[in-house]
Structure formats: structure tokens, C-alpha cells
Chain A
Amino acid sequence: MTAAAVRPFDEMMDELAKAGASSLYLCYQCGLCTSTCPWSEVRDVSVRKMLRQAQLGIGGLEGDDLWLCTTCRACAARCPRGVDIPTVIRAARSFVAAAGAEPDRLKTVRGHLASAQNPWGGKPEERSRWAEGLNVRPFEKGMDVLLFVGCTAAYDPRIRTVARALVRILDAAGVTFGTLGNDEVCDGDPALRIGDGDLFRSLAERNAATFEERGVEHIVAISPHSFEALKHEYPKLGASFEVEHYTQLLARLLDQDRLKLRSDGNVPVTYHDPCYLGRYNGVYEEPRKVLESIPGVRLEEMEPNRADSLCCGGGGGRIFLETPPEERFSNLRIAQAERVGAQVLASACPYCVLNLEDSSKTTAKSPLAVRDVAEYVAERLA
């Protein structure tokens, strides 16, 4: 092969700079990102090499590997030069997607988001069907909190139970809450992570306008992805409200002695940190505290955990893409859970629960129940 002359891809370099990805040029090619990336556990992919080529503007980000990134931030959390790799990825995705070169499946997701305001393709008028039979009221001023349900909890049959569980817990604790019902739209996280900033903005602005209109001041989110978007992305658009993840609210309710839980016998439980709750927002202790408050629960820590936790594989749009069984991080996670002898694998994110449950069903050597923290707590309500 003859060497080609370097011809910098100026347009892409400009785009990356505009999208705030200029920390890219700080990279000194130590490869820590590659070896830290969960993909390195299951297949060959060099994050470093992608950055290398992008630094020189000779491509590298436009290939298929670009769409592997789960935006889990494990790399950025360790990068010795402070390169904001997920932002580089996001910027590159938006550049590639603008040229229509993203995976077909993601085109569909974008379509759903644009037409039905959710990535799953559910009908907008069925958004609040998850709450059928429960007395969930529309949010009005004076209520303690707005429950932001999120698309997965609204449409996915498995995750609907999480939302329903949370309703029972809030009722039991005497928290007054409401939802936006069918007026809620996707928080925009999927759009943002797959590189469609405009779509994100239109969704976010729509929600923000509804919050404003209904006088929402305090939001509780079910999905850490909603939580992250509401907490850190919406304020950039000028929105202003308090937001917390439901595990933070539950921890507070327990502190105030407003939840009575009964024993589950002597159960070894392990907790999987969702990336968007942990690395993105530093919420490590509250979910653990909630689990440990269930009488009988014995919390065992998997390796790795907390800031080093292994991604489930669902973020950054990966939940919508097919991953071959031998490349699923969630399979590794199941093995790690089994290594500490857990019977229950708890997490606090719809994507994590979906992925881990799939893997548990296909790879667990002995029964390993995958539960969302909310489900587990609701089961143990006294």
C-alpha cells in the first residue's frame, strides 16, 4: 500500500471545534481510553486511534466504530489530559448523521422521535397507559413533585412495572405528585446522544414550556438519562427547576421515616451503577442506602463498582441497536454479579434493567433476579 498524502478534513475539524470538542487536541495518545473502554473487553476497538486520526483531521470518526460508544464516560473519567471523549463522539455523530450516514436503525429512532416524540414508536395518546388502574393525577401547582416518567417506562412493558412500583411507593409515603400525562414528550436524551442536537432542542423546549406552563418547580425522574438531560442540558436552554433521581427522593423519605419496609429474608443483593446516575452525576450512595434499608438485604459489591462501574451497554443510543450476544457488556456484568454470590441484581435505570435481565435470562448459571430498585422497594412495602 502506498502512503496517501495527508489531506485534513477541515469541515469535520471545524464542526468538532464548534461542538465544543476541541479538548480532542490535548490527547497525547496514552491509550488509557482504549483499555478502559468496556468494548475492549469484548472486541477490538481503539478509541485512541479514532482520536488520533481526528486530531490530524484524517478521518477516523466516520467509521462504524463511532456508533459503538455507549457514552458511559469511563474513558473521560480517567483521561489524564481531560479530553471530553463523549463530547467528541457526540460532535462526530452529529456531523456524520447530518450527512445521513448513521446506522439505519437510528434513522428510524429519529423518525419516531420526530413524529411520536418517543424513540420506541409508541403512540403519543398512549403515553400514560402505563398508569391504568392507578390513581395518577395530572400535575398541578401545589403538589410536591412532578414525576417525569420517560419513554421507556411509559411504553416498554417490562419497565412500566417500575413506574407503577414507584407510584405505589410515593403513595405509601404520602408524597403528592402528578405527571404531565400525554403532554410529556421524550426528554431528548436519545436524540442528543445519537447526534441530533436540533431534535433534542425541539423536544426539550416542548417539555420546558409545559413545565413553565404548569408551574413545575421540582421534578423526580425515573430514568437516569432523563435525570441527566433535565439537570444539565435543559438549563443550557434557559429552563430552571429542581430535579432529582427517584433514588435520591427515596433515600430522603427513608431518612424521614416515611417508608416502612418489611424483611426479604437474608438475601445477597448487588447493585449495578447506571453510568448516567453514577459517573455523570455522582449518585452512588443513595440507591445503596435504599437497598440496605430493606430488612434482610445484604449488599455485596461487584468489581468494578461506583466510578469504575461497567456499563450495561444501553446508553448513547445502543439500546436501539443490535449487539451480538458475545459482545454484550451485560453478560460480563452477570458473571461479576454471580462472582459475589448475589441472588438479586438491582439497578436504577430502565436500560440497565432491560439489558441485565436479557443477559441474566440467557447467561446466568443460577437464578439471578434483576430488579429495579423501585420494584424491589415496592415489593417490600410493609
Chain B
Amino acid sequence: MTEEPQVLTLCCNWCGYNAADQAGAAKIPYSPGVRIVRLMCTGMADPYYVLRAFERGFDGVLVIGCHPGQCHYKSGNLQAREQTDRLLGVVQALGIGAERLRMDAASSSEGPRFAEIVNEFTETLRKLGPSPLKEVA
């Protein structure tokens, strides 16, 4: 169908999701392969979601939360960072490639930053090609 890399983007309700709204409202283009799931906090981003997304054929997974120190729940983003870092090794060992999993931060007013993050990530994924787990039709 589409050649755009498919990106599951787990956004926290307070920063990442609002930043995506801001990017939209400002009509800053980004790849339509970016698919957002809203979580209350990146702290609830379970490793299962990341692995499930890869299993279902996503080319990359992006976790976007608040900047360190800005978490609506104090430290959810820090826990997410720690968990994501641990998972990088797993994703790498699985042969998916650590470059396909990324965590970043964008505050609720940083629409341009959201677009910049997803565009840069999409670009990386484009260079990497489709995920090895993607079922070839």
C-alpha cells in the first residue's frame, strides 16, 4: 500500500499528545505513517506495547513524553526512559535494530519539535528500510 514507514507513536496525554495537536494545528507536515496512541503518561508505556507493535509490522516505535523534570506525574517519563533504554538491547538482539525504537520529549507547546522528532525518525526508518518483522505480501 503505502511506502511510508509505519511508526507507532506512544504519546503522553500532557506533552507529547498536545505537541502533536500543536503540530497539526500549525499545519506542519509530517509523515502520515505516524500513528499515535494516547497514554496518560509515558510511564505506562509497557514494553509489551513496543514489542507488540513490532510484531504487528510497525517499522518503528517512538515514545514521546514530557521533558525531564516536567512530567505531569513527576517521574513517569524517567521510568519510561529507563525502561526504554533497557528495551533497546532487546530490540537490538532481536535483529529489529535499536535505531527503530526511540524515546524523546516535546512539551505541549512544542508542535514544531514534535514534527521535527517524527520527521527525523521517519527519515531514519526510511533509510533503514522496512522492519525485518514486516510480513512481505
State if A and B touch, Cβ cutoff 8 Å: no
